[in-house]
Amino acid sequence: MDWVTCAYSAACTGVASRPSGFCLAHLTPEQLGAALGEMSPGRLLDLRGTTVTSDLLTRILEATGGRPGRTRLDRARFTGDVRLPGVTFAGDVSLDNARFDRLASFFGARFEGNVSLAGVRFIRELSFHGVTVRGHVSLDRAVMSRDALFSQAVFGHGLSCERARFDGYATFDGARLGDGAAFRGARFGRTLSFRKVSGHAGFEAAHFAADAYLSATGRLSATRARADGSLDVAVARCGVDLRGVEVTGATTVRLTDSQADLEGAVLRGPATVTGRGTSMLTSLRQVEATDLGLSGLDLSACRFAGLSHPSGVRVKDCTFAITPRGVRLSLRWPMLRWFSRRRALADESSVRGRADADDPGTSPDRLAALYAGLRPSDRATSADFAFAAMEMRRQAGHGWWLSVSWLLCGYGMRMGRAAAWFALLAAITAAAVLWGSASHATNRPAPPNPTVHR
């Protein structure tokens, strides 16, 4: 502690007041009245390390006119209910490592500066419902043993809850986060409701021991987070980063004009990712999911390399990349190659030599397994994927007969090619017959002239 402590006893950590040398909790009634008389609105309020009862808190707020200035309450202990309706803190407020033994309700309070609640322990319920903070709020390493309510709160310059512990129900519904919120390493013991939140939020390496509902209008990140229950994510006109997330229960991701990244995710329960408008999924690399449904998404840039269970992925109403159409000469057999437009995975670009510089790519064998395992709902995409699976096997060198099948009839799926070969063979045969007939007629000997006898 960096302040002079109360002289009442060695156990008291309250900041000493002058000239008595005692903290406010140990002043005599006369001394306390004098100390309260020196307080006024807008002035510094220093109660560091002091044990504050409900009665003492009420008298302090009355003395400051409900408008204290810079407030220092580090390591203070509040033994009774704390209710601050109509109180405005004109300066920064510091409550680091304070303790609230009973209800802590900041409902109706207003903070003109920053608020630091780092390491605070709330034994009972905490309410920040509807609170307005013009500055930044820090709840790093704070412990909320019961329910914590932050709905409709306004954080002008953001909120930080890194390594905080929410043991009870936690709600941030309708909160406005200003510069954003950080929940890196936080733990939520019961249901988290983070719906219709304005601003971006990061839940990196967070632990959701129960169900979590995340919905925001700004960028949302939950990389390396772990959810023991279900995880429900909904975002609009922004991005969501779920790389490395691990979910035991059901996973639901709803995108509206947004994009999501699921690289390295482990989804043990049923999972669905749906999109509306121009919604895009950018990566399913190294994803482990036995039951994953994709619907209404743009998958033209989505990478699938390393997907553990492609047969467990159901695809409906999604768009894929389109291969180029054209004719190309090659030094390898077959020397003449032509390509038709078809739906393809973005990973195929690496096989065709069009990968980005930082793209590790994939092998034709693995791509063949992906194409064979994925289950698009529409027949056209299914046919294109079946063709692509054979194409990848051919490029991997699995038998000369694949090259012959591709050349003659496109693996039995390009019957127009077979018809063209038949027409060409028929034309060649007809030309040969005509040529043979003409040559035979030319080489036939002329009949002898008849002899006239007189």
pLDDT digits (tens, 9 = 90+) for 364-387: 777 777 877 787 777 777 677 777
Which residues of 217-323 form beta strands (DSSP E)? 220-221, 226-227, 231-236, 239-241, 246-247, 251-256, 259-261, 266-267, 271-276, 280-283, 288-289, 292-295, 313-316, 321-322
Strand 343-344 vs strand 321-322: parallel, antiparallel, or unpaired? antiparallel
Provide the residue type at 261 as one letter.
D
Query: How high is the pLDDT of residue 147?
Result: 97
Q: How high is the pLDDT of residue 352?
A: 56
Does the global pTM surpass 0.75? yes
- The pLDDT of residue 227: 97
Quote the pLDDT of residue 355: 44
What are phi and psi for residue 293, nearest 5 degrees? Answer: -110, 130
**pLDDT tens for the 454 residues of the chain, in order:** 788 999 888 899 999 988 888 999 999 999 999 999 999 999 999 999 999 999 999 999 999 999 999 999 999 999 999 999 999 999 999 999 999 999 999 999 999 999 999 999 999 999 999 999 999 999 999 999 999 999 999 999 999 999 999 999 999 999 999 999 999 999 999 999 999 999 999 999 999 999 999 998 889 999 999 999 999 999 999 999 999 999 999 999 999 999 999 999 999 999 999 999 999 999 999 999 999 999 999 999 999 888 888 888 999 998 888 776 655 555 555 555 556 677 778 877 665 544 444 454 576 777 777 877 787 777 777 677 777 666 765 665 555 445 555 544 455 455 555 566 567 667 777 777 777 776 666 666 656 666 555 4
Angstrom distance (rounded) from CA 88 to CA 175: 20
Q: How far apart are CA 262 and CA 256, in angstroms?
A: 16
Q: What tokens appear for 346 in the block?
A: 């973005």
Q: What is the pLDDT of residue 308?
A: 87
Sheet of strand 181-182, all strands in order from the earlier edge strand to the far edge:
45-46, 71-72, 93-94, 115-116, 137-138, 159-160, 181-182, 201-202, 220-221, 239-241, 259-261, 280-283
pLDDT of residue 342: 73
Give the torsion through C-alpha atoms of 347, 348, 353, 357, to 10 deg.
-10
What integer pLDDT is reported at residue 398 of this predicted model?
Answer: 55
pLDDT at 408: 45
Residue 433 CA to residue 114 CA, distance in Å, equals: 96
CA–CA separation, 170 and 151 (whole Å): 9
Angle (deg, nearest 10), helices 364-373 and 379-395 = 160
pLDDT tens figures, 186-240: 999 999 999 999 999 999 999 999 999 999 888 999 999 999 999 999 999 999 9
